[in-house]
Structure 1
Amino acid sequence: MEFSWLETRWARPFYLAFVFCLALGLLQAIKLYLRRQRLLRDLRPFPTPPTHWFFGHQKFIQDDNMEKLEEIIEKYPRAFPLWIGPFQAFFYICDPDYAKTVLNRTDPKSQYVQKFLSPLIGKGLVALDGPKWFQHRRLLTPAFHFNILKAYIEVMTHSVKTMLDKWEKVCSTRDTTVEVYKHINLMSLDIIMKCTFSKETNCQTNSTHDPYEKAIFEVSRIVFQRLYSFLHHSDIIFKLSPQGHRFQKLNQVLYQYTDTIIQDRKKSLQTGVKQDNTQKRKYQDFLDIVLSAKDENGSSFSDTDVHSEVSTFLLAGHDSVAASISWVLYCLAQNPEHQERCREEVRGILGDGSSITWEHLSQMPYTTMCIKECLRLYPPAPNISRLLDKPITFPDGRSLPAGITLFINIWALHHNPYFWEDPEVFNPLRFSRENSEKIHPYAFIPFSAGSRNCIGQHFAIIECKVAVALTLLRFELASDHSRPPQLVRRVVLKSNNGVHIGRGKGNR
């Protein structure tokens, strides 16, 4: 049967389009197949845990099964690949010598991770690489000079006491338990806003900041799930998904919060009116330095750079520190003998705790050891990512080519039984002066290591010491066995059901 001229005319473009799409699909399939074969070849020297041919290790990763992770570390103590679907694999490192080899290089951050985080924090210090990273690091380092950090002690003390006063009201009976993380998170937000942005928020008593806190928690969950869902690696698929729509709304909340901070300061500078507690300051805060920073050519940070750096430090400066303090208090509640020893040390230095100074912080060796042991057990940032820009050879002779995405799993480093005796046991004496010399320098890296270590780590430790010392003077912490934490690996290590701590019988 012959087709009419009209039918032939209209059918031909559709036929050609179909053939074109089919050819594109076939080329993409070939490209993915070759990618899988290349990854299988490159990763062959490194045994991997049992994997599903299509889903890879996706179920294990998304289940947040920390016990299973510990089993894998024991079986693969150096490194192992984890497959995210059939065409993507990440290389996980849990050996200090391997970590040292990577962190002493200048490989860029993994674009897989930064691609998902950039809508949240932009291209700030955490995400940058190369000369621009070096420039930002150099310009921002003065914000964390010891002379500036000393001035923060009074602010931190006031914010911590505000939180402890709230706990006094909550704990009206001895049997009361408190979900401490939400309180500590607000307290840490209060501190970061006052110290680095010189902005009074009253966020510990003002519920209007709840949307920001909730947005941070949920966005972190979405970013983690997207990272380990190979279908959502596609921007188009992710944006069309319910999670993608939710992410956009939450990101808008965070963007507006950060933008308000920046615009308020700019207005105050333009009008010459000092805001909040800036009249009392004798130092430049973080926001001052970001807005006034100039490179050797006299160029200032762009508006995008300013927003990225403020977003980065607002998130990292309060969320990770809040998690750290929560885990320290949880560990001390679980280990009353160490808690009491810390309390006696703090009481001997501070008395009733009416004042705490910079000099006091260096006089707490046992409390410092307990904090370090908590950071070993519960590192605030569980992973560091890198993308190999050139081949790498590890100390045992095995190699990887350029283009492989690496994750230095800090949790695995800190729990590796080949480098830590009884790694699940809380033992602060690991960090005594004589024992700490035996620790591999890359076996304990809660704030990363090498040139890209955390710029705010001293700020975090100081805040942690102030919070722990003042808390122990006011409360005896008890464990709540009925609600153990449910660990979730996000951008920051958290508990899905919060961190519940009871009030002991000996509270004053």
Structure 2
Amino acid sequence: MDASWLETRWARPLYLAFVFCLALGLLQAAKLYLQRQRLLRDLRPFPAPPTHWFHGHQKFLRDDKMEKLDEVVEKYPRAFPCWIGPFQAFFYIYDPDYAKTFLSRTDLKSQYLCKFRIPCLGKGLVNLEGPKWFQHRQLLTPGFHFNTLKTYVELMAHSVNTMLDKWEKICRTQDTPVEVYEHINLMALDIIMKCAFNQETNCQINSTHDPYVKAMLELGRIAFYPLHSLLVHNDIIFKFSPKGHRFQELSQVLHQYTEKIIQDRKKCLKAGMRQDNTQKRTCQDFLDIILSAQAENGDSFSDTDVQSEMNMFMLVGHNTMTASLSWLLYCLALNPEHQERCREEIRGILGDGSSINWDQLGEMSYTTMCIKETFRLIPTISSISRELSKPLTFPDGCSLPAGMTVVLSIWGLHHNPAVWKNPKVFDPLRFSQENSDQRHSHAYLPFSAGPRNCIGQQFAMVELKVAIALILLHFKLTPDPIRPPTFSNHIVLKPKDGLYLQLKILPDS
């Protein structure tokens, strides 16, 4: 009788709990089923590549083979639905008219690819929305004005020459291809540390000694890690995964470093003092400009805002510039006739390159066309995404509902044979004035377009011109036939296993 009493006492709650869990499971299954049916209905007007019933197109996304995307773009010349598992779909577009309609709106940026970064890095222009974003954009714009950028040219040239000295020593002791990506990575970090903080870290020579430099380099590798896997989109799984834990540790190093610099600078400004090395400075750095904006706007631009913007500027600017210059060198190495024409143009402007100034950069017309063609052929940011706040109707009458995540594939747009003739051919003359005037306004979007275009695009162009000019004056570039680069399609499009080039010192350098 006692056993029967215990059985009744404990079995009933367990039974009820089981029924409750089963009901919740069935309810969730029904919800997912309806979600899938709704997506199938909404996306029915748009044909798509064959999809796996469970994985969707995840294998296609994870393979990092951009050739597969080229094949899809050729077969579906405007857009296609891309399934991330059975219950989630993105809508990829790469048609100029579609892009123009999409970018003319003010939909929120999709957080799907960067939601885990925000708590660690803070909210800056990259991930802010609405009035807060507009306020920050206005306050930060002076930091990228031509008058400010002019003063950075000498700083940039000094960092590039440090890298070239390293390359020259390597080339004099070995006759094998050099892995240049890591050298460029340190050089880009050196430049942005000077322009952002007026900090001389000597990172190109002793990169392993500075905790901040080490953290920034490793953080860049994790922050732009691909997030197409369903598992890493669970907050708890990512937070407690090795990568998530390491990401938080590195972010703390970043925060402590930037906070100390910001507070030290504010103390100096408040006391009317100048730092010991400020007397050598010929320009304001990015931090000066941000702190000036804060002083004028009081509580509406907090210390947290300052720190977030500095972190974002450092991380995003450093990683995108490294990739951009790497791909530019690779494209010129593959196309020696264009490389030589750039070199002749640069020699005619700079002579031996002992000095370089802002006005000379504006004379590099053919070199500029080669830079633009590199951005077309290998866009550093391969896509941008938004979540529709209201239905979107394209010029051909096809529509998408609110809530859909739309991905503008910049790679797809720049490789679309319906937009570009022979899109895989490196042809700088596409960007002659005549050809540019005849092109659709949204056929070429390396820095996006509309109100949320890249605020740092002029900074990037200046840095690329300084770097490529000095490199071509000193070295002839040849690709390594044994180790061609492969794409690592994270948020920033990087060479997966580094970039190997044969560097030959020019006799008159």
TM range (shorter): over 0.9
2:59 is aligned to 59
Say if 2:396 is the partner of 1:393: no
Aligned residues of 1:475 and 1:507 also touching (Cα < 8 A): no
Aligned residues of 2:224 and 2:492 also touching (Cα < 8 A): no
Cα shift readout 1:58-98 (whole Å, capped 9, x = no counterpart): 11111111111111110111111111111111111111111
Q: Distance in 1 between matches of 2:473 and 2:340?
A: 10
Determine helix, strand or coil for the equivalent of 1:111.
coil
Q: Distance in 2 between matches of 1:129 and 1:236?
A: 25
Amino acid corresponding to residue 125 of structure 2 in structure 1: L
- Map of 1:106-505 to 2, 5 A cutoff? 106-172=106-172, 175-207=175-207, 208-209=209-210, 211-222=214-225, 224=226, 227-266=227-266, 268-269=268-269, 274-275=274-275, 277-281=277-281, 283-294=283-294, 298-504=298-504
Cα shift readout 1:99-134 (whole Å, capped 9, x = no counterpart): 111111111101212313314532110101111110
Going from structure 1 to structure 2, the CA distance change for 1:95 and 1:337 (only over 3 Å counts) comes to same
Q: Distance in 2 between matches of 1:111 and 1:457?
A: 23
Please report how far the alpha carbon of residue 318 of structure 1 lies from its aligned counterpart in structure 2 after TM superposition.
1.4
Cα shift readout 1:117-176 (whole Å, capped 9, x = no counterpart): 314532110101111110000011111111111111111111111111111111115733
Determine helix, strand or coil for the equivalent of 1:476.
strand
Structure 1 portions without partners, runs of 5+: none
Aligned residues of 2:116 and 2:235 also touching (Cα < 8 A): no
Q: Distance in 2 between matches of 1:506 and 1:174?
A: 16
Aligned residues of 1:108 and 1:388 also touching (Cα < 8 A): yes
Q: Distance in 2 between matches of 1:54 and 1:378?
A: 31
Q: Distance in 2 between matches of 1:152 and 1:506?
A: 27
Aligned residues of 1:391 and 1:402 also touching (Cα < 8 A): yes
Q: Distance in 1 between matches of 2:204 and 2:395?
A: 50
Please report how far the alpha carbon of residue 296 of structure 1 lies from its aligned counterpart in structure 2 after TM superposition.
8.1
Q: Distance in 2 between matches of 1:191 and 1:361?
A: 17
Determine helix, strand or coil for the equivalent of 1:290.
helix
Q: Distance in 2 between matches of 1:494 and 1:307?
A: 27
Q: Distance in 1 between matches of 2:34 and 2:363?
A: 59
Determine helix, strand or coil for the equivalent of 2:367.
helix
Q: Distance in 2 between matches of 1:392 and 1:348?
A: 51
Aligned residues of 1:215 and 1:254 also touching (Cα < 8 A): no
Structure 2 portions without partners, runs of 5+: none
Going from structure 1 to structure 2, the CA distance change for 1:279 and 1:17 (only over 3 Å counts) comes to farther
Amino acid corresponding to residue 104 of structure 2 in structure 1: N
1:40 is aligned to 40
Please report how far the alpha carbon of residue 436 of structure 1 lies from its aligned counterpart in structure 2 after TM superposition.
1.3
Worse overlay, 485-494 or 250-259: 250-259
Please report how far the alpha carbon of residue 477 of structure 1 lies from its aligned counterpart in structure 2 after TM superposition.
1.1
Please report how far the alpha carbon of residue 28 of structure 1 lies from its aligned counterpart in structure 2 after TM superposition.
1.5
Say if 2:80 is the partner of 1:95: no
Amino acid corresponding to residue 5 of structure 1 in structure 2: W
Determine helix, strand or coil for the equivalent of 2:108.
coil
Please report how far the alpha carbon of residue 315 of structure 1 lies from its aligned counterpart in structure 2 after TM superposition.
1.1
1:50 is aligned to 50
Worse overlay, 172-181 or 410-419: 172-181
Q: Distance in 1 between matches of 2:174 and 2:477?
A: 11
Cα shift readout 1:399-450 (whole Å, capped 9, x = no counterpart): 0010000111111111111111111111101111111112222111111111
Please report how far the alpha carbon of residue 24 of structure 1 lies from its aligned counterpart in structure 2 after TM superposition.
1.9
Worse overlay, 172-181 or 75-84: 172-181
Relative to the length of structure 2, the TM-score reads 0.94
Going from structure 1 to structure 2, the CA distance change for 1:505 and 1:56 (only over 3 Å counts) comes to same
Worse overlay, 277-286 or 107-116: 277-286
Worse overlay, 203-212 or 38-47: 203-212
Cα shift readout 1:207-262 (whole Å, capped 9, x = no counterpart): 2256235413431453x1xx311232221233344443444344444444544543
Give the percent of matched residue pairs that are identical in Structure 1 and Structure 2: 67
Aligned residues of 1:124 and 1:312 also touching (Cα < 8 A): yes
Cα shift readout 1:245-301 (whole Å, capped 9, x = no counterpart): 444344444444544543443454466653364334455422123234249864242
Q: Distance in 2 between matches of 1:281 and 1:372?
A: 32
Worse overlay, 347-356 or 2-11: 2-11
User: Root-mean-square deviation (CA), in Å?
Assistant: 2.1
Amino acid corresponding to residue 153 of structure 2 in structure 1: I
Amino acid corresponding to residue 236 of structure 1 in structure 2: I
Going from structure 1 to structure 2, the CA distance change for 1:151 and 1:427 (only over 3 Å counts) comes to same
Going from structure 1 to structure 2, the CA distance change for 1:98 and 1:277 (only over 3 Å counts) comes to farther
Q: Distance in 2 between matches of 1:114 and 1:341?
A: 41
Q: Distance in 2 between matches of 1:14 and 1:307?
A: 52
Determine helix, strand or coil for the equivalent of 1:459.
helix
How many residues matched?
505
Aligned residues of 2:70 and 2:412 also touching (Cα < 8 A): yes
